[in-house]
Amino acid sequence: GDIVLLAKPVTLTEGDRVTLTTDVPVATDGTSKPEKLLYAVSLPPVHGQIEHINYPGVPISSSSQLDVVAQKVSDVHDNSHGAGKEALR
């Protein structure tokens, strides 16, 4: 089926952690199986990383829609100077 993806930028300041919710990335593929719909991080954050909350400090390069719905994925700023708009793409 068709895949539809909507993503909004997330603005972080030094040291911030933002839990990604379906307000940030949300996608549908017509199957109603969020555990099978995967996001890949094609452009990692400049000042931080995307992490699974069960593994803090470990960057991830993909996540399921189910993890996003369960609020288990975070964008974490690395305390370097400057804020940036980060997006899970």
Are 75 and 47 within 8 A, CB to CB?
no
Which pLDDT belongs to residue 8?
Answer: 64
The band of 36, judged by pLDDT with boundaries at 50, 70 and 90, is confident
**How far, CA to CA in Å, does 19 sit from each of 3, 32, 78?**
23, 23, 15
pTM score: 0.67
3-state secondary structure of 30: coil
Which pLDDT belongs to residue 88?
Answer: 44
80 pLDDT higher than 50: yes
